[in-house]
Amino acid sequence: MTVIDANRMHEIETRYPEYFHRSFRQRFGGLMILVATLLYSLYAVWFFDLPKLFAEAHWERVGIYLSQWVSYDVQPEFRIEDDGSIDIRYPRFSPLGDNPHPDWLVNNPDGSITVSVSGTSRSVTVSKSETIVTAHDVSVPVEVSSGAPKVVGPVPGWMTVYDDNVLADLGFAGNVSISVDRVKIRKRFIGWANFIFDTQSSFFDKPVGEVVSLIVSGPRIKPDQSNLSLAFDDIWNNSEWQHGDVWTKLFQTIVMAFLGTLLGALTAFPLAFLAARNITPNRLLNQVLKRFFDFLRSVDMLIWALFLTRAFGPGPLAGSGAIFLTETGTLGKLYSEGLENIDNKPREGIKSTGAQTVLVHRYGIMPQIVPVFVSQTLYQWESNVRGATIIGAVGAGGIGLKLWEAMRTNANWENVAYMVILILIVVFIFDTASNALRHRLMGTKAH
């Protein structure tokens, strides 16, 4: 065991004072950051009143919206006429078409109608005097012959009785609303109805094999048009899903992001040379351009879009202009800072040969900055594809406006899901391509 005397200990303390004589910040800095973070978190909880916010939130709507993203419903209505007959009606533009005959609806010999809401475990039998709802291994009769519907026997927890209506909640499968003269059923199906062909198409409700046979070798449905062309037209002009309009708007969003980013990069590039202190030794010009960049990027892209839609009207031009202004500020700042951090030795070497300024920039600066500039520009383009979707919602065109219109109806959530998935796919493709190009330009290996 080595023994260190007092002199040796003093020598070590003198040589390494940062370990033996640490400042207050060094000793307690980590603890202070932890305490400050905790206090700020408590302040945020109090300021936003998070307990009340979470308590009053409508969490049940999350499940409703998610279920509507991945499913659709059919809503037959059974009206009990004065003569005791039952008239079946479907909403306008029903997913089943104009003349539906679903196999889950059965006419019984006694005149009643049985609807299978979810197999045999959840069903509804409608007759002129009563409606029987079967769910959770229980059959509950509801009399409808008197002035108000009346549940016979105990009311189960999944059934709610109102003054003139009885509502039976059957979970994800749907629900049943029972009144004296009508019964309305909401039956839910997994999937997206009529995604390929709508109810007006000649191919609607045909099996896949029959559709393929018609397209490949079947007789022409329309004499002046091939079946393949007709099928494509029916898909592209699908009135429910509007594939043609959605894809056109998606392409507008991509072009809007590309055009705005390209124009912003072309404008910011020469201005960055004037804003860089080591390239243009004019302090006033440097400061004016840098503050100009700050102004352009400090106004959010969404605000620029609002201004430009007022000036030019709604459309992709306003969206491209908003991206152009924002990117001129953002890329101008990035480019100028990149120029100020270059290695001046190549530039000074070329300048010492008496070369012109243009050649000095071309051979002394450009080889250093081009990979960085292209990498930054690609990243901004990738980001602007997402941003173009947001500004589209305020009238700047593209798929963002289409998405906002679908959300405003509060009924077409499957269409919202379709567009969101398309946006995610496009963002993923651009993110992958942008990363590959950036790594290739920078000479690094992509992971």
> What does the block give as tokens for 404?
């906002």
Q: How far is residue 306 from each of residues 73, 203, 300, 318, measured CA to CA in Å?
A: 37, 43, 10, 8
Question: CA 309 to CA 300: how far, in whole Å?
Answer: 14
> What does the block give as tokens for 160?
């709610």
Which residues 6+ apart lie within 8 Å of 280 measured at CB? Answer: 273, 274, 286
Please, are residues 72 and 192 in contact by the beta-carbon 8 Å criterion? yes
pLDDT at 148: 84
> What does the block give as tokens for 336?
């100028």
Question: CA 161 to CA 177: how far, in whole Å?
Answer: 10
The order of strands in the sheet holding 122-126 is 105-107, 113-118, 122-126, 130-135, 138-143, 150-151
pLDDT at 22: 67
Predicted confidence (pLDDT) at residue 85 exceeds the cutoff of 90: no
| pLDDT mean across residues, the chain | 86
Question: CA 275 to CA 283: how far, in whole Å?
Answer: 9
Predicted confidence (pLDDT) at residue 24 exceeds the cutoff of 90: no
Question: CA 118 to CA 186: how far, in whole Å?
Answer: 11
The CA-to-CA distance between both ends of the chain, in Å, stands at: 50
- Residue 195, SS3? coil
Domains present along the chain, CATH in parentheses: 70-190 (no CATH), 243-442 (1.10.3720.10)
Determine the residue type at 190: I
Summarize the confidence of residues 344-349 as an average pLDDT.
Answer: 76
Predicted confidence (pLDDT) at residue 271 exceeds the cutoff of 90: yes
Residue 421 — pLDDT band, cuts 50, 70, 90? very high
Query: 280 versus 291: which is more confidently predicted?
Result: 291
Query: What pTM did the predictor assign?
Result: 0.79
* pLDDT tens-digit series, residues 373-398: 888 888 888 888 888 888 888 877 78
* pLDDT tens-digit series, residues 65-76: 888 888 999 999
Q: Percent of the chain beyond pLDDT 90?
A: 34
> What does the block give as tokens for 252?
């507008």
Residue 243 — pLDDT band, cuts 50, 70, 90? very high
Summarize the confidence of residues 301-305 as an average pLDDT.
Answer: 89
Determine the residue type at 304: W
Q: Percent of the chain beyond pLDDT 70?
A: 93
